[in-house]
Amino acid sequence: MQPIAISVGEPSGIGPDLIVSCYADRKKLQLAPFFVLADPVMLAGRAERLGIRVEIANLDSPQHAAATFANALPVIPLHNTHLDSPGELKSENAAGTVEAIERATAFVLGGEASALVTAPIDKKALYDAGFNHPGHTEFLAELCARSSGRQIQPVMLLTGPELSCVPVTIHIPLSEVVGALTTELIVETAQIVVRHLQMDFGLEKPVLAVAGLNPHAGERGALGMEDISVIVPAVQKLQGMGIDATGPLPADTMFHAEARSTYDVALCMYHDQALIPVKTLGFDQAVNVTLGLPIIRTSPDHGTAMGLAASGRARPDSFIAAIDLAARMAQSRHNFRTHTQ
């Protein structure tokens, strides 16, 4: 397997802390080899602030990253510089943050890396600098579409040991959810989820639970019609395709332990319906995965946690889980392709 590419994320947040601390503990954690798209001076500065001894090797390409990994943290330097300003956003840093995502993605698309792990970005800081994508999920879809020349619908999966959820609508205001939710979108999202659960997670016949939108899944139309007019036809279509899907289920009672044991993934209608239960049950272990892309991409489930940058108090667990899951998914996809070709 090729090494994993990591984009540094927002340099003022905890991304750099997690990268250097995971590298320092790589043997104990048995991490798959990775390289980082980052400003090596900023990264070395953060390691020093944290009192972590890390040797950094600047590389031109990922070619020698796996061999280097045992002795030094392989870093492909950004063309843009990153100021080391923990906890303080700097507008000058935005260009390097976007560059890291773009170049790391290109290495995975080009086959020089097996998967992409993204450290968190501060979305508003990038919006203010002219970045016009809601988040990584949508940006990665555009980068992959540009490279493949075909339209890509990205799907966000948040997965933890106790629960996996997919929001059908992602980064949009709650007031726009009803307008964006269509039977076609639910069906297409579910199909992408099923395909990737088979290909990347080794599940032969995934079971989906589809959440309702309104209280009590609309109370038979008395508390909103979308459950009947939009979600029921989607579930029927999916069942007609042979997909094991049930719903719409009242969202308030589908996440308790016994309910969770009946499905592999909950298909939720909006961002917080999906992410609140996953992060509540496993904030330290859950991983954000983008499905629907030609590449594998994972990320920790948390954000930049600016207040913890350079403090030594950022928990690395979700970042470790993101690296581990990326490596397992890359292996699973490789096995799937080998067996189906």
Ligand X SMILES: N[C@H](C(=O)O)[C@H](O)COP(=O)(O)O
Kindly tell me the burial class for residue 308, based on how many C-beta atoms sit within 10 Å of its own C-beta (0-12, 13-18, 19 or more).
middle
What span, in angstroms and rounded, lies between the C-alpha atoms of 244 and 193?
12
- 137 touches ligand X by CB under 6 A: yes
Window contacting ligand X (CB under 6 A); options: 106-114, 132-140, 200-208, 241-249:
132-140
Per partner kind, with CB cut-offs from 5 to 8 A, the member of ligand NAD, ligand X, none near residue 305 is ligand NAD
93 is in an annotated binding site: no
Per partner kind, with CB cut-offs from 5 to 8 A, the member of ligand NAD, ligand X, none near residue 307 is ligand NAD
Given the rule CB under 6 A, which residues bind ligand NAD?
14, 120-124, 136, 288, 299, 302-305, 307-308, 314-315
Q: Which is nearer to ligand X, 82 or 136 (CB)?
A: 136
79 is in an annotated binding site: no
Using alpha carbons only, how large is the chain's radius of gyration in Å?
20
- 136 touches ligand X by CB under 6 A: yes
339 is in an annotated binding site: no
Window contacting ligand X (CB under 6 A); options: 32-40, 45-53, 135-143, 144-152:
135-143
Q: Min. distance of Cβ 124 from ligand NAD in angstroms?
A: 6
Bind-site residues for a divalent metal cation: 171, 216, 271
Bind-site residues for substrate: 136-137, 279, 288, 297
